[in-house]
Amino acid sequence: MQKRFIAVLFMVSAFLTDSCGPKINPNEIRIGEYGSLTGAQATFGTSTDNGIKLAVDEINGAGGINGKTLKLTAYDDQGDPAEAAVVVTKLITQDQVQVVLGEVASSLSLAAAPICQQNKIPMISPSSTNPKVTQVGDYVFRVCFIDPFQGQVMSDFAMNNLKAQTAAILRDQKSDYSMGLADFFVKRFKEKGGTIVSDQSYVAGDVDFKSQLTNIRGQKPDVIFVPGYYGEVGLIAKQARELGVKVALLGGDGWDSSKLYEIGGAALDGCYFSSHYSPESTDPKVQDFVKKYQTKYGQVPDALATLGYDSMGVLAAALKNAKSLSEADIRDAIAATKAYTGVTGSISLDANRDAVKPAVVLKIENSKASYVTTVNP
Ligand code: PHE
Pocket probe for ligand 1: among 48, 106, 127, the residue whose CB has the most ligand atoms within 8 Å is 127
pLDDT digits (tens, 9 = 90+) for 88-132: 999 999 999 999 999 999 999 999 999 999 999 999 999 999 999
Split at pLDDT 50, 70, 90, the class of 52 is very high
pLDDT at 312: 98
Atom from ligand 1 closest to the CA of residue 125? 4
Please name the helix (run of DSSP H) or strand (run of DSSP E) that holds residue 32, with its range, or none.
Answer: strand 28-35
pLDDT above 90 (res 14): no
Ligand 1 pocket test target in 36, 48, 77, 104 with most atoms within 8 Å of CB:
104
- Bridge-partner residues for 69, per DSSP? 28
Answer yes or no: same fold for 12-145+283-358 and 147-275. yes
Q: How far apart are CA 194 and CA 261, in angstroms?
A: 30
- Residue ranges of domains in the chain: 12-145+283-358, 147-275
C-beta separation of 177 from 254 below 8 A? yes
Assess whether the C-beta atom of 130 lies below 6 angstroms from ligand 1.
yes
**Ligand 1 atom 9: residue of nearest CA:** 253
Q: Is 360 left (phi over 0), alpha (psi -120 to 50) or beta?
A: beta
Question: What does the pLDDT average to over 332-337?
Answer: 98
Task: Give the residue ranges of DSSP H helices in the chain.
Answer: 2-20, 42-61, 81-93, 106-119, 132-135, 147-156, 176-191, 210-219, 230-242, 258-264, 284-297, 303-321, 327-335
**Bridge partner list, 167:** 196, 223
Q: What letter represents residue 339's amino acid?
A: A
Select the more confidently predicted residue: 19 or 223. Answer: 223
CATH of domain 147-275: 3.40.50.2300
pLDDT at 7 over 90: no
Using a 10 angstrom Cβ sphere, with 0-12 exposed, 13-18 middle and 19 or more buried, the burial of residue 321 is middle
Beta carbons of 334 and 340 less than 8 angstroms apart: no
Q: End-to-end alpha-carbon separation of the chain, Å?
A: 43
How many angstroms is it from 44 CA to the middle of ligand 1? 8
Ligand 1: atom nearest CA of 105 is 12
Q: Does 15 score more than 80 pLDDT?
A: no
- Residues 338-349 pLDDT 10s: 999 999 999 999
pLDDT tens for each residue of 233-275:
999 999 999 999 999 999 999 999 999 999 999 999 999 999 9
What is the CATH code for 12-145+283-358? 3.40.50.2300
Average pLDDT, the chain: 95
The pLDDT value given to residue 9: 52
**Residue among 45, 54, 93, 47 at smallest CA distance from 72:** 54
Output the CA 142–ligand 1 centroid distance in Å: 12
Q: How far is the CA of 227 from the centre of ligand 1 (A)?
A: 10
Task: Report the nearest atom of ligand 1 relative to the CA of 108.
Answer: 12
Q: Is the C-beta atom of 48 inside 6 A of ligand 1?
A: no
Alpha-carbon distances, residue 227 vs 154, 188, 215, 235 (angstroms) = 10, 15, 18, 13
> How much distance in Å is there from the Cα of 237 to the middle of ligand 1?
19
**pLDDT above 70: percentage of residues in the chain:** 94
Q: Which atom of ligand 1 is nearest to the CA of 178?
A: 12
User: In angstroms, rounded to a whole number, what is the distance separating the alpha carbons of residues 83 and 93?
Assistant: 15
Cα 143 to Cα 164: distance, rounded to the nearest angstrom: 31
Beta bridge partners of 100: 32, 123
Does the C-beta of 253 come closer than 6 Å to ligand 1?
yes
Residue 175 alpha carbon, nearest atom of ligand 1: 12
Q: Is the full-model pTM beyond 0.85?
A: yes
In this prediction, residues 23-30 reach a mean pLDDT of 92
Model confidence at 19, in pLDDT bands (50, 70, 90)? Answer: very low
Most distant CA pair in the chain, distance: 67
The neighbour count for residue 208, using CB atoms within 10 Å, is: 10
What confidence tens digit (pLDDT) does each residue in 292-315 have? 999 999 999 999 999 999 999 999
Residues of the chain above pLDDT 90, percent: 94
Give the chain's length.
377
Query: Coil, helix or strand for 39?
Result: coil
What confidence category does residue 68 fall into, taking pLDDT thresholds of 50, 70 and 90? very high
